[in-house]
Structure 1
Amino acid sequence: MRKNQLIYFSLLIFCFSCGHTTTEIEKENSFAKGADISWLPQMEASGYTFYNDKGMPEDCFKILKTHGINAIRLRTWVNPSDDPHSGHCSKEETVAMAKRAKDWGMRVMIDFHYSDSWADPAKQHKPKDWEGLDFEELKKALYDYTYDVMLALKNKDVTPEWVQLGNEIATGMIYPEGHTDNWPQLAQLLNRGYDAVKRVSPETKIILHVDQGNNNNRFRWWFDNAEKYGAKYDIIGMSYYPYWLEGRPDYTETIDDLGYNLTDIMKRYGKEVMVVETGGEDNQPQNTFDMLRAVIQKVKSIPDGKGLGVFYWEPQSARSWSHYALSAWGDDGRPTKALDAFID
């Protein structure tokens, strides 16, 4: 009997180990279908109720997972305010959300804005606590902050699969020191962030993120300089929003440019690529669905599996709450057809 029990338990452990290994391999090779949902804590705190396709109240994470979302992106700000639309996203809130995402079986991307509020091509404001620092002190502040957030995540048993250093940094970050007018300094700042992340989590991949993913000249100029000045990174990330392009063209007018750019920069720099932000108009769900399908197809078609995934920016941020026109949520509190694009 004892011998039989030993055999049984040995087989059980063997089967568990095989299953675990398979899960890890599938995770490493699977396509990331992601959503940035950094507004979610504020929405929940305000009393917003999320409904599933059947009109039943349900956790937003479950609704997203049901629609194929397997990865979550979260922005983090240094010392944010409590404003419901341009605040929150503190270290503590980001870590709590990341833990929640992990508990739902989702992969995690952390987006360091290196600001107290929104950072994008129009603005890259230095955190207030970093004002007045000389350049060496600024590099140390960036390293210490990045390390602190990564360590807080590790202490909650969360290992981000990806980390962005800066958000849409086409003209740099942490102005004026990190502006692209001074590429040597920008590269040094990025490398301090890289070193901090890798010290805590060597397996985490570092993303550098530029907007206008259909604009090949923009990406060649930016990443030629990144290479020239020795910026360290693993993945090229891009935004793709036809809505924000001049004249607001339909996606069909620029989707092939996106596909060309993805393949070109992958080959030119030998890096994996991702669309880390995209979205379409909430009142045109069929068009947004079609766009998402096309974007996913373009990324999946990158040679050698170098296209890693596509992330929708704040799909759950219903316009009635956020006043943002590019969610994938309707006035009825339910996801629109657009979100179905992530279902295989």
Structure 2
Amino acid sequence: MAIILIATLGCKKTIKGETQIYPEPDPVGTYAKGADVSWVTEMEAVGQKFFNSAGVQQDLFTILKDKGINTIRLRVWVNPTTGYNNTADVLAKAKRAKAANMRVLIDFHYSDSWADPAQQNKPAAWANQDFTTLKASVRSHTVAVLTALKAENIIPEWVQVGNETNDGMLWNDGKASVSMKNFAELIQAGYEGVKSVNPASKVVVHISNGFDNSLFRWIFDGLKANGAKWDVVGMSLYPTAADWSAKNTQCLANMNDMVARYGSEVMICEVGMPVADAVACRDFIKDIMAKNKSLANNKGLGVFYWEPQSYNSWSGYKLGAFDDSGKPTVAMDAFLP
């Protein structure tokens, strides 16, 4: 189904008095077409360059914006050994997003490195804290990062409290299969931290495998039963060229259930597919965006590609959307108007 976007036009008077037609800026609250580009500063530091589709070297944010991306997602680590993804690095990238008139999603991992379904390790500085202190650390870290952003007039529209918390976070204290109550209290600590700095920021709880309804019901039923609050259900979806259509159908059913069961908004926080399957990836993204937009009462908020700018198997990652010459593949055309 073709989707036609009509730009809203406004008028203003120039110094000479002529009426000039100009496009209104995209208002906050419209659909998020996003990219997580947390690797960008690390890539640039070793000389990686980025090129538009015509082969002209440009700043990555410019290239992405020209492809329809209007929102940037940035992961936050507590005290990473390399410094990348710490508060200062996140702030530098968020400033670039703001300068490009892009919105921001902040993704707290509550770890010194990767947090995902296979690992949810405590930051070294929190390793020996009792549970009451651990909750306070989650809140204070959340507040500190968001306050640093706010000092630069950057108010994230969305904030993830945890990353792919399929079995909770901050193991073993917050492991959901061990203590859903502890996990819920940690989520609540993050939620309260976000709202204390920016009440309008929407809090996201993010789970992988967006096609797995039983997993999502287990997590969100458990959080609800234990008093945790959230605004948005976040999902990851990494299908293959062979199964994306079936996975998208399952994901739609899950998204509709999240809306009906909890009244939640839904965001696809991460998508990706092997760079060699760029055409299939484009079709997959266009389809999942259409499905996300179809949710009742405009509950579908957006879709984010995870590290599309990674190329030449940067850090061993092969699911980017830039080719080996550093140019966007056709997968990125899915985000164009």
Match of 1:300 in 2: 293
Hey, what's the Cα distance between the residues in 1 that align with 2:76 and 2:234?
A: 17
Task: Choose which of 317, 320, 331 in structure 1 pairs with 2:324.
Answer: 331
1:333 partner amino acid: G
Match of 1:78 in 2: 78
Match of 2:234 in 1: 237
Q: Which runs of 5+ in 1 are unaligned?
A: 1-10, 13-18
Q: TM-score, normalised by structure 1?
A: 0.89
Q: Which runs of 5+ in 2 are unaligned?
A: 1-12, 15-20
Match of 1:5 in 2: none
Displacement of 1:190 in angstroms is 1.0
Structure 2 residue 175 is the aligned partner of structure 1 residue 179: yes
Structure 2 residue 94 is the aligned partner of structure 1 residue 98: yes
Equivalence map 1:281-292=2 (5 Å) = 281-292=274-285
Hey, what's the Cα distance between the residues in 1 that align with 2:144 and 2:204?
A: 19
Match of 1:214 in 2: 211
Displacement of 1:149 in angstroms is 0.4
Structure 2 residue 111 is the aligned partner of structure 1 residue 111: no
Equivalence map 1:224-303=2 (5 Å) = 224-243=221-240, 249-303=242-296
Runs of at least 4 residues of structure 1 off by over 3 A?
none
Displacement of 1:249 in angstroms is 4.8
Q: For the pair shown, which has the larger CA radius of gyration, 1 or 2? A: 1
SS at match of 2:105: strand
Match of 1:8 in 2: none
2:196 partner amino acid: R
1:230 partner amino acid: G
Hey, what's the Cα distance between the residues in 1 that align with 2:164 and 2:297?
A: 26
Q: TM-score, normalised by structure 2?
A: 0.91
Displacement of 1:58 in angstroms is 0.5
Cα distance per residue 1:200-237 (max 9 Å; x no partner): 11110000001110111111111111110111111100
Match of 1:4 in 2: none
- Is the contact made by 1:319 and 1:327 (CA closer than 8 Å) also made in structure 2? no
Hey, what's the Cα distance between the residues in 1 that align with 2:107 and 2:247?
A: 26
Hey, what's the Cα distance between the residues in 2 that align with 1:326 and 1:161?
A: 26
SS at match of 2:275: coil
Aligned length: 318
Match of 2:65 in 1: 65
Hey, what's the Cα distance between the residues in 1 that align with 2:261 and 2:81?
A: 41
Displacement of 1:322 in angstroms is 3.0
Farther-moved stretch of structure 1 (160-169 vs 320-329): 320-329
SS at match of 1:58: coil
Cα distance per residue 1:14-49 (max 9 Å; x no partner): xxxxx9xx74xx523311000000000001111011
Hey, what's the Cα distance between the residues in 1 that align with 2:120 and 2:27?
A: 34
Match of 2:7 in 1: none
Structure 2 residue 167 is the aligned partner of structure 1 residue 168: no
Match of 2:124 in 1: 128
SS at match of 2:118: coil
SS at match of 2:236: strand
Measured on the aligned residues, the alpha-carbon RMSD in Å equals 1.8
Task: Choose which of 285, 307, 313 in structure 2 pairs with 1:314.
Answer: 307
Displacement of 1:284 in angstroms is 1.0
Hey, what's the Cα distance between the residues in 2 that align with 1:131 and 1:281?
A: 36
Hey, what's the Cα distance between the residues in 1 that align with 2:325 and 2:243?
A: 26
